Structure 1
């Protein structure tokens, strides 16, 4: 199995569900668990009242650091009994650079896992996802509440649009795809042509995956006035997929934030475990 080191990020206010989830995945595939305990620093006061509130700000930061230390010790105790190798680090990060801190830590992992606790953590969620997708070069596995996480999925759906990001996601997921019982390569309103998705959209990607041992079926689906995200969600349910593999942010982050997009839609409401890469 390709995933030998799995990273998860926990906050000082999050529970232990994500920690247990990541540890379970490590046990499933005999991987090492790396945990980053992160607290986000309050921004410094500015303006004419800065001098007045600076003392309270310093006290707040000191309390945050004490909370971070206590949380790190609690995490260490929580996973001490697990039959896996582990390492734990902590960081008190400024909000502006927190994503880069996540990315640096992820350089030494094969996969970043974000579970239900992190997905409900607001700013911390945003920083971890940004760091994973834009600063690490590693795939990110989102596991929403109520879903079953596994790194041995039987049925995998791949969102394919022939772009670089989709190719990266497929590359990162190759071991999972080769071991799955069924892989569905899904194209929504595909376009033919040399500079689009070829004469037979999906055929080249299916052949590539088949050479790696994947059992592939190509599904070309109409959008029918709905969003691409809605089509993918519906098909994932119809085919009882265990995991969705897709590229992230085919457009710029700014454009996705302003106009929306498939990535943003899936990040806000992941319908099942999603393996993302870019």
Structure 2
């Protein structure tokens, strides 16, 4: 996919680093920057009745709206001085509905960017991830603190497990894969049967990518009693990868929350940019 519109989400307690990051990525690929400013509305502590009669709750809402207005002004000022084309929207949803708000906005972008500031915000981070992955049908790019993101990576790892989520991630990143100098299709402990990777794990995926002109290498790695996420992270370091491409939530969110999983681990601890799709 060609990325022509990038979305980033910001809140009242965040600085300007994520905005600068998203703008710089837009400049790389001549894309439009869409910014969504969110203030999450705290629910009344005593239920719906308290919402009507509680002066403290009303004062809290006024304070939240004031913070939102201030943040909108800050972002508008930043965008007015930026060289990239942009648009700005805002919302004040209840916490329970924030992911739907993000998802609806992300449907009109090609990629949602999650920078270090957003990743440090526990509540807002979770809502943006859920909205982008489950309510938009579009990919997201995770940029951890200290990483050097680019939408023109030279060396890419593709975490391949033959699930539909992996296939979506490959499709969404196809333009980057075609432009890379080196792409490694990584499988950890691949299962050789017709319900998983087939008789020759990675062969079908490599053939598909090669037809698109991707310079592809297939690697099958043993886990050796390490988690799949740890194997991927270490291999990314070993080959100095610029980007990891992977499918997200091949298992249910509930199972990942209880037992853990590759997606959950990467969301919590990654040393390089990760493009995820579902």
Give the CA deviation at 1:52. Answer: 10
| TM-score normalized with structure 1 length | 0.97
Determine if contact 1:45/1:53 at 8 Å carries over to the other structure: no
The match for 2:31 is 31
Change in Cα spacing, 1:51 to 1:9, as seen in structure 2 (3 Å) is closer
The match for 1:219 is 219
Distance in 2, matches of 1:96 and 1:259, equals: 24
SS where residue 41 of structure 1 aligns? coil
The match for 2:95 is 95
The match for 2:230 is 230
Distance in 1, matches of 2:143 and 2:190, equals: 28
1:129 aligns with 2:129: yes
Distance in 1, matches of 2:88 and 2:126, equals: 21
Determine if contact 1:229/1:266 at 8 Å carries over to the other structure: yes
Distance in 1, matches of 2:16 and 2:51, equals: 38
The match for 2:163 is 163
Distance in 2, matches of 1:65 and 1:230, equals: 42
Distance in 2, matches of 1:213 and 1:92, equals: 45
SS where residue 255 of structure 1 aligns? helix
SS where residue 40 of structure 1 aligns? coil
Determine if contact 2:151/2:176 at 8 Å carries over to the other structure: yes
Distance in 2, matches of 1:99 and 1:48, equals: 22
Change in Cα spacing, 1:186 to 1:56, as seen in structure 2 (3 Å) is same
Distance in 2, matches of 1:46 and 1:57, equals: 10
Correspondences of 1:100-249 after superposition (within 5 Å): 100-249=100-249
Distance in 2, matches of 1:27 and 1:245, equals: 22
Distance in 1, matches of 2:52 and 2:173, equals: 53
Correspondences of 1:247-262 after superposition (within 5 Å): 247-262=247-262
Distance in 1, matches of 2:73 and 2:21, equals: 19
Instruction: Name whichever of 20-29 and 43-52 sits farther off.
Output: 43-52
Change in Cα spacing, 1:251 to 1:60, as seen in structure 2 (3 Å) is same
SS where residue 201 of structure 1 aligns? coil
The match for 1:18 is 18
Determine if contact 1:161/1:187 at 8 Å carries over to the other structure: yes
SS where residue 151 of structure 1 aligns? coil
| TM-score normalized with structure 2 length | 0.97
Give the CA deviation at 1:82. Answer: 1.5
Distance in 1, matches of 2:77 and 2:211, equals: 45
Per-residue CA deviations over 1:57-96 (Å, capped at 9, x if unaligned) read 1111111111101110110101212111100001111100
Determine if contact 1:43/1:94 at 8 Å carries over to the other structure: yes
The match for 2:82 is 82
Runs of 4+ in 1 over 2 A off after TM superposition: 47-53
Give the CA deviation at 1:51. Answer: 7.5
Determine if contact 2:51/2:57 at 8 Å carries over to the other structure: no
Give the CA deviation at 1:47. Answer: 5.8
Distance in 1, matches of 2:182 and 2:51, equals: 63
Q: Which runs of 5+ in 2 are unaligned?
A: none
The match for 1:61 is 61
Count of equivalent residues: 278
Distance in 2, matches of 1:196 and 1:96, equals: 36
Instruction: Name whichever of 71-80 and 50-59 sits farther off.
Output: 50-59
SS where residue 7 of structure 1 aligns? strand
Determine if contact 2:107/2:138 at 8 Å carries over to the other structure: yes
Give the CA deviation at 1:114. Answer: 0.2
